[in-house]
Structure 1
């Protein structure tokens, strides 16, 4: 039993001291940024057409199935344009590479 206690037993470890806030202040300007969402709400006039198309595709060979569309979002044109421009500029130096834009932020 002592053998297993060496592997699974708790060891007396000292808790590390917290880092002083003066060294973390480099990330303070991040509060001045507004995140641009990748998707925005769709116009209510487009709900019916999008719902019919999506449920028809999802139903496939099962015509008696039922679906509920809870939320319809469309691509944010501003975020789409910014991601295309930034990926194109980055690809200028490395044309064989692929880029994924995960987050877009704007200065207040």
Structure 2
């Protein structure tokens, strides 16, 4: 067998058994904590009237439709404040932004 015959050989791949990884995992997966959550339906009327009044300004003939009203998630707010404070440490001028919060 010459040098070029070695490169011309067809390679035979052996089939590899694939294990189902979802069946063997027992620990829970990480879930993202939403930054905003749905608010109570009792707040819809007041919030939509205030938002529409601010958006309309001095144009009294305009109309607005409020589709969704969300409020800040208190759990996400607390975690972001604590983690940013710990990360900032003694540096008073630092500004940190929490992009994502995950929980098990």
TM over 0.5: yes
Gaps of 5+ in 1: 1-30
- Computed over aligned residues only, the root mean square deviation of the Cα atoms, in angstroms, reads 1.2
TM-score, normalised by the number of residues in structure 1: 0.68
Q: Could you say which residue in structure 2 is the equivalent of 1:64?
A: 61
The runs of 4+ residues in structure 1 deviating greater than 4 Å are: none
Secondary structure of the residue aligned to 1:37 is coil
| Structure of greater Rg | 2
1:36-76 per-residue CA deviation (whole Å, 9 max, x = no partner) reads 00000010010000000000000011111000000100000
Give the helix-richer structure, 1 or 2: 1
Q: Could you say which residue in structure 2 is the equivalent of 1:90?
A: 87
2: CA distance, partners of 1:51 / 1:77: 21
2: CA distance, partners of 1:105 / 1:95: 27
Give 1:97 deviation, angstroms.
Answer: 1.1
